[in-house]
Amino acid sequence: MPQFDTQSVHAGYEPDATGAVMPPIYTSTTFIQSAPGQPGPYEYARSGNPTRQAFERALAELEGGSTGLAFASGLAATATVLELLDAGSHIVAFEDLYGGVWRQFERVRNRSAGLRVSYVPTGDLAALRAAVRPDTKLVWVELPTNPLLEVVDLEAVVQIAHAAGALVVADATFATPYLLKPLDFGVDIVVHSVTKYLNGHSDVIGGAAVVKDAALGQRLAYLQNAIGAVMDPFSSFLALRGLRTLHLRMARHSESALRIADWLQGRAEVSQVIYPGLPSHPQHILACRLFAKGHGGVLSVRLAADAAGVNRFLSRLKLFALAESLGGVESLISQPASMSHGSLTPELRAERGLGPELLRLSVGVEDAGDLIEDLAYALDGLGR
């Protein structure tokens, strides 16, 4: 089996009759059939497209899965996965999770399908056991979580869920298969926002799901086609291009994020630095066991400042752009309370520690020293 770095460059595509080393962008919406009801490998682009399939195969190989499926967005992937559940099913999710998934749970599927979700403190296995019921069909976990970067014992979560007959879905957007392959721990479905690290260049909206079990893969592929929220050919081409350098980018993201997180710990203007790679992180030992190659490019900080001070800090940044999303080659900074988690109620944000002083940094591939200088200049402004 080739090493991950080699797989990243070669997975998913064999040169076609033209000898092209990268797959062409097939824009055709339909394909010729030899006779009525006798299609070839492809018949209609929603059901299958050669460019999209190249990306899907590559991601499945990198994750160690049997089936990879690409969607129009990360939330489209989530929505399709939820269609595996019957109406009225029960879900258990850890509290710290992406606000868009919470919105889908609480403001869409609760109304449209009667899905009921119980939230438990992140990583609390006793609470997870207590929350699982006979009608629990799915346990949802992020690795690490967004935005508090908490880490859970994945093997234990899988054991608890499977004992109850529930599927385990892991959102590994922050980790990518370079840092962690959840399927190896028994997870049933891995989902990604391809928009983030897998593509890596902030120019594609996409999502993906990967499974190891072939029968489950067939069920999910049926839903992908039936619902139709598929990734378009051009985005598939760009996403596959992004995979080719995933190993290089994730190594740099992780190295720089650790350096910046360590530096931020020494600043009086910062009351807390949250990064799994720091010994100060509550689950640092577990994180080192799960993430052998590094701890990713995202870190969160709490500033020792009021809302006006936070805004002053953000306005002084030059290299870190204040913007939604993460995982691109450029460095971004966001305020979860007003951005990625703005859909949560004010009460929930307060309960979960998502105040205006909490900022999430996506460390890009720029020179880490330059990024530190940028943060230092912005932090210096808090004292003025």
**Active-site residues: which are they?**
46, 98, 171, 196
- Rounded to the nearest 5 percent, the helix, strand and coil shares of the chain are 40, 15, 45
Return the structure tokens found at 26: 């097939």
Distances (CA, A) of 315 to 15, 299, 318: 48, 19, 8
Beta strands in the chain (DSSP E): 33-35, 38-39, 67-71, 90-94, 116-120, 136-142, 167-171, 189-193, 207-211, 270-274, 298-303, 321-322, 332-334, 358-362
- Supply the DSSP symbol for 297: S
Instruction: Find how far residue 257's CA is from the centre of its chain.
Output: 17
Q: Which of 140, 213, 132 is nearest to 173 (CA)?
A: 140
- What are the helix and strand counts (H, E) for the chain? 15, 14
Residue the block writes with tokens 């990268």: 22
Q: How far apart are CA 171 and CA 313, in angstroms?
A: 31
Return the structure tokens found at 66: 């049997």
Q: Residue 19, by phi and psi: left (phi above 0), alpha (psi -120 to 50) or beta? A: left
Contacts 24+ apart (CB under 8 A), 87-90: 87/113, 87/114, 87/115, 88/113, 88/114, 88/115, 88/116, 88/135, 89/113, 89/115, 89/116, 89/135, 89/136, 89/137, 89/138, 90/115, 90/116, 90/117, 90/118, 90/133, 90/135, 90/136, 90/137
Say which residues have a Cβ less than 8 Å from residue 178's Cβ, sequence separation at least 6. Answer: 4, 8, 62, 246, 247, 250, 251, 293
